[in-house]
Amino acid sequence: MHTIEEWTSIEEWTADLALRLLPETNGRKIEVFRGSVIVSPHANVDHQTVSTELVYALRQAAKAVGLFAYPEVNLISGDDLFIPDFGVFRQSGGGKVAMNIADALLLGEIVSPGNRRKDIIDRPKQYAAAGVPWFMRVECRNRVPVVALHSLVEGEYQPVAAAAAGTRFVMREPFAFEIDPADLLDE
């Protein structure tokens, strides 16, 4: 076990270093970006509910075509370590501590009030720069879920489909999937 003093003496963190030195946790998210460690608490209950319901539904659709959907996986991109809210991958993550961003087909973020910039601007830019072909975002302003899908076109994400609670979100690529965003919350 390493001490806090040892961890704080590290001048530049990498994904590999974080995965080797930091303890596995079901608590706070620990990510590495540009050499710095970022620690975040879990999001609110609505965020967790949306994540659970969406990943379950995505998992069924992805599995039907040989893909794998997971919540909050450790994702290595060069020296960075991200933990997207959810993702769909070309290969199984079974038995792995982390997945490589090159295996991601679709990554997604559920917008949290305290992380709006990260979820709407920063993460999509990072995923696009790594060449992830699809990005999905879920927002729940005033507890009204909206799902939006974006496709990578010339290095930037372009909107493809979107729907708010009470209507059907439908996508045909990268695999067939549809849901009423209202089904993502408890009520």
Largest CA distance in the chain: 52
Scanning the structure block, which residue is given the tokens 């303890």? 23
For residue 1, pLDDT over 50 is answered with no
Cβ atoms of residues 110 and 138 within 8 Å = yes
Model pLDDT, residue 155: 96
Q: In whole angstroms, what is the distance from residue 137 CA to residue 22 CA?
A: 29
Q: What is the pLDDT of residues 46-93, one digit of tens each?
A: 878 889 999 999 999 999 999 999 999 999 999 888 889 999 999 999
Model pLDDT, residue 20: 63
Q: What is the pLDDT of residues 108-130, one digit of tens each?
A: 999 977 767 777 778 899 999 99
Scanning the structure block, which residue is given the tokens 């999509």? 124
Scanning the structure block, which residue is given the tokens 């599995």? 63
- Report cis status (omega within 30 of 0) of the bond before 84: no
Model pLDDT, residue 70: 97
Q: In whole angstroms, what is the distance from residue 8 CA to residue 22 CA?
A: 12
Q: What is the pLDDT of residues 120-157, one digit of tens each?
A: 778 899 999 999 999 999 998 888 999 999 999 999 99
Angle at 135 between CA 186 and CA 114, to 5 degrees: 55
H or E, element range at 58? helix 45-63
Model pLDDT, residue 15: 63
The fraction of the chain above a pLDDT of 70, given in percent, is 77
**Neighbouring C-beta atoms of residue 85, cutoff 10 Å:** 26
Neighbour-count burial for 30-52, b at 16+ CB within 10 Å, e otherwise: bbbbeeebbeeeebeebbebbbe
